[in-house]
Chain A
Amino acid sequence: METSFAWLEIFLNASFWVAAVRIATPLIFGTLGEVICERAGVLNLGIEGIMTIGAMVGWMAVYQGAGLWSGVLLAAVCGGTFGLLHAMLTVPLGLSQHVTGIGITLLATSLSSYVYRLILPEVSSPPRIQAFEPLEIPGLSSIPIIGEALFKQTPLTYFAFISVIVVAYVLYRTPVGLAVQMVGENPAAAEAQGLNVTLIRTGAVVCGSAFMAVGGAFLTMSAFNAFFFNMINGRGWICIALVVFASWRPGKALLGALLFAAFDAYQMRLQQLVGTEIPYQIFLMMPYVLSILALIVMSRRVGYPQALMIPYRKGER
């Protein structure tokens, strides 16, 4: 009898929730960054590569002696630089956002490996760094389950939650947020109101890319404490899907990232429970299958930014 309910008992275990929030953190950053880019009308498929760059740069900086927060900042700056490259190609030049984005991902991923090998040519297994430690919020962390899941995380996780609130506020409550929305909905209208469409789109892509890179940096600076090849492992692509799931809203992006991470954490525990009777790849597939199902249900009534993926050229009708 006991084993038949074990699949439910996973939910009562605080470590499950802690893992879910931890797994969600890079997805929150990535999705948030992609939301900012796409709200301004630019699809950024460079996300996978930009996360890789963020992961490598943040970790490498700390390994070379920089402080943890300087590492995060450096990762954000490098991510922003690749965002700037993407923006330059897609906004003023109006190139295909798909092709450019895939190019950025390939370039950034290979460059990360190259720089890694350049700096550490002899190393066989990547060195570990002294990473971010969990930071308990006094009082709140003693709430059962919720407290442990939400208030015993590393600082970058708190930063992710705060970022969601800040981005939502900026997007919906400030003039610059309105401008970002407008260039993604109707750039001609933005220009007719005297705004510089190129500048706003570029700025949004740079800012969004910086968030993506911080998401990557979380993996090497808060989770695995080292940089491996192929460590982003499709997280960037998941973020692209989560943006649609979230209907381009920061709050829903947080929800989507948590939901996906919970599936992921759950399947890992389920694997251990079931053992070798079922091939473990089935469980690895589960979060992705569920995310496709969720997309089908959710994206039926989404209002995507009207000018998404449409280059804007001034003076062209």
Chain B
Amino acid sequence: MRNVVKRSEIDISEKQAAAEVVLRLRGITKVFGSLVANDDINLELKSGEVLALLGENGAGKTTLMNILFGHYVADSGSIEVFGHPIPQGSPHAAIELGIGMVHQHFTLADNLSVLDNVMLGTEPLWSLSSNRRASRIRLEKLGERFGLQVNPNVRVAELSIGERQRVEILKALYRNARILILDEPTAVLTPQETGTFFETLKKMVSGGLSLIFISHKMQEVLAISDRVVVLRDGRLVAEIKTADASETELAQAMVGRNIELPERKALKAGESVLKLKSVTVKAEDGRAALSSVSLDIRASEIVGIAGVSGNGQTAIADLISGLFEPQSGTMELHGEVVNNFTPRNMLRKKVGRIPEDRHSQGLIGDMTLAENSISECYREPQFSSYGWQNHLNRQRFAENVVSKFDVRGYSANSPVRLLSGGNMQKLILGRVLSGNPQLILANQPGRGLDVGAVAYVHEQLLVARAKGAAILLISEDLEELLQISDRIAVIHRGRLSETFPRESISIAQLGLLMTGQQKSSTTNNQSTEADAS
């Protein structure tokens, strides 16, 4: 089975010999339906190099790497690894040739142990026993060597996101990966975790690995890579040595057009719109708890909530959406205590909601744009009377939303699932803003959107703010928060910090608060290292 390349022969010392080409992609093209995901891409990776693959969402980065790792088969083009052509469509062959991949959405089984996840596929399938002891020792040694300590015996479900990523990397290292593909590895990490993660990457490079680092964050690409390749609309549009690259140059190449960032004018905040007073919520159904959360948002103000996902953001959003009521504490809208926590009551009180997950919470994919556009207000007399729908008004309303909010590509009578993420978000924005909400809950409004769409969403939120709406912006993207918020609070383990005016707080300070620290004394890695020993 292991006769394809004798990796043991490629010794670590060989790395210094020359910057030999370890990976060569030639003319890779992949078409999905009418979408050209990759268009004649040529790429080389040299030994010991960190190559950054930069591009917006949907530029074709992940598709390219999935072809390389054998998840997809390219329509044309060839791949060579260490001078050997690689059969496409077989992750097994890719692994045998020394390619490892750290997937953006981790490929781990939550109910199995770390060791099980790592060992899977490493032993002959039909052997009658399995040498778990030797594997455990080998895994622990690897962890020590690269600073990736994880307890091999715990179930993956019990690990933090950062630790799961370590397991994902260890899986590749365990199988002697020489080329490691990292797909948006920092998306799930706090700024501090990203720092330690970059240290690990450096250790891996000095240990002889070559890395492909996929990202859409320019600062990270500039910090870690040797060379940058920019993809746009499936084409390779730029290839630059990182030392010669500038942020503006890369941004230009990545977006291919000028994006005007929305301008945020100073506004005087008005009366209090939403007031949470020591709200406490029990953890339930996989939702984190809230303990004694207090918050005040006024008209014409955007208040941002920063935090690593899973620290209580969903609970705050669900509470304000009216999905459940708090165990203790009160919520006031315009100075009036809310007693009836139902989504319908919240809508009646002019709370607009942009949900976290467009697909599962925001829209119904198989229903049309028109139907989705009135899904929150279909009971109003203009859309229904005596139990009958008014199709004409619905159609007019939907067409108005579509043109006003620039929803492109499909007519009002097409199913929503055909829309791209950006256009889905525009439709939701249109639905929310047409109701003239006085409080807008924007939960991760920019997630998964390209730069242009994000700018549009931000602009619309700022317009609503200028009209006097109070906006609660929940986001894991600190730059997004700093761009449009007036004040920012940080949530950690269900506790919400005080709010800081955005002028007086930096990304580094927010990062510390996100890990639950007030001062920079220790890092939170220590506890996990103690667990692993």
Chain A residues with a Cβ under 8 A of chain B: 173-176, 178-179, 181-182, 185-186, 188-196, 303, 305-306, 314-315
A306 to B130 Cα, complex, angstroms: 24
Binds A, one of B120-128, B334-342, B368-376, B465-473: B120-128
Contact across chains for A174 and B129 when beta carbons are under 8 A apart: yes
Asked if B111 is at the interface (CB within 8 A of a chain A CB), the reply is yes
Contact across chains for A189 and B101 when beta carbons are under 8 A apart: no
List 29 A-B residue pairs with CB atoms under 8 Å apart, sorted by A's residue number.
A173-B129, A174-B128, A175-B124, A175-B125, A178-B112, A178-B120, A179-B120, A179-B121, A179-B125, A181-B109, A181-B116, A182-B116, A182-B120, A189-B107, A189-B108, A191-B91, A191-B107, A192-B91, A192-B101, A192-B103, A192-B107, A193-B91, A193-B171, A194-B90, A195-B92, A196-B92, A305-B111, A306-B110, A315-B66
- Beyond A178-B112, A189-B107, A193-B122, list 20 extra A-B contacts (CB 8 Å): A173-B129, A175-B124, A175-B130, A176-B126, A178-B119, A178-B130, A182-B116, A182-B120, A185-B110, A186-B108, A188-B103, A191-B71, A191-B91, A192-B71, A194-B91, A194-B94, A194-B96, A194-B121, A195-B121, A314-B71
| Contact of B127 (CB < 8 Å), options: A174, A181, A185, A305 | A174
**Which residues 56-84 of B have a CB within 8 angstroms of A?**
66, 69, 71-73
A274 to B117 Cα, complex, angstroms: 56
| Chain A positions within 8 Å of B142 at CB level | none
A178 to B123 Cα, complex, angstroms: 10
Given contacts A174-B127, A175-B130, whether A193 and B112 have CB atoms under 8 Å apart is no
Asked if B41 is at the interface (CB within 8 A of a chain A CB), the reply is no
A192 to B104 Cα, complex, angstroms: 12
A175 to B120 Cα, complex, angstroms: 7
- In the complex, what's the smallest C-beta–C-beta distance from A174 to chain B, in angstroms? 6
Contact across chains for A190 and B121 when beta carbons are under 8 A apart: yes
- Write the chain A residue with the least CB distance to B66: A315
| Chain B positions within 8 Å of A315 at CB level | 66, 71-73
- Write the chain A residue with the least CB distance to B71: A315
A175 to B112 Cα, complex, angstroms: 13
**Which residues 142-175 of B have a CB within 8 angstroms of A?**
171
Interface secondary structure of B, over-half rule: loop
Asked if B451 is at the interface (CB within 8 A of a chain A CB), the reply is no
| Max chain A Cβ within 10 angstroms of own Cβ: one of B94, B109, B112, B121 | B109
Given contacts A192-B103, A195-B92, A315-B71, whether A175 and B111 have CB atoms under 8 Å apart is no
- Write the chain B residue with the least CB distance to A305: B111
| Chain B positions within 8 Å of A192 at CB level | 69, 71, 91, 101, 103, 107
Chain B residues with a Cβ under 8 A of chain A: 66, 69, 71-73, 90-92, 94-96, 101, 103, 107-112, 116-117, 119-130, 171
| Chain A positions within 8 Å of B96 at CB level | 194
- Write the chain B residue with the least CB distance to A176: B125
| Contact of B112 (CB < 8 Å), options: A174, A176, A181, A188 | A181
- In the complex, what's the smallest C-beta–C-beta distance from B153 to chain A, in angstroms? 14
| Max chain B Cβ within 10 angstroms of own Cβ: one of A176, A186, A196, A303 | A186
| Contact of B123 (CB < 8 Å), options: A175, A188, A190, A305 | A175
- In the complex, what's the smallest C-beta–C-beta distance from A315 to chain B, in angstroms? 5
A176 to B103 Cα, complex, angstroms: 24
A185 to B112 Cα, complex, angstroms: 8
A181 to B92 Cα, complex, angstroms: 19
| Chain A positions within 8 Å of B119 at CB level | 175, 178
| Max chain B Cβ within 10 angstroms of own Cβ: one of A173, A178, A179, A188 | A178
| Chain A positions within 8 Å of B126 at CB level | 175-176
A192 to B100 Cα, complex, angstroms: 9
| Chain B positions within 8 Å of A182 at CB level | 109, 112, 116-117, 120
| Chain B positions within 8 Å of A186 at CB level | 107-110
Contact across chains for A189 and B127 when beta carbons are under 8 A apart: no
A178 to B124 Cα, complex, angstroms: 12
- In the complex, what's the smallest C-beta–C-beta distance from B88 to chain A, in angstroms? 11
Contact across chains for B116 and A178 when beta carbons are under 8 A apart: yes
What 7 pairs between A and B have smallest CB-CB spacing? A194-B92, A185-B109, A193-B121, A189-B107, A192-B107, A175-B123, A186-B109
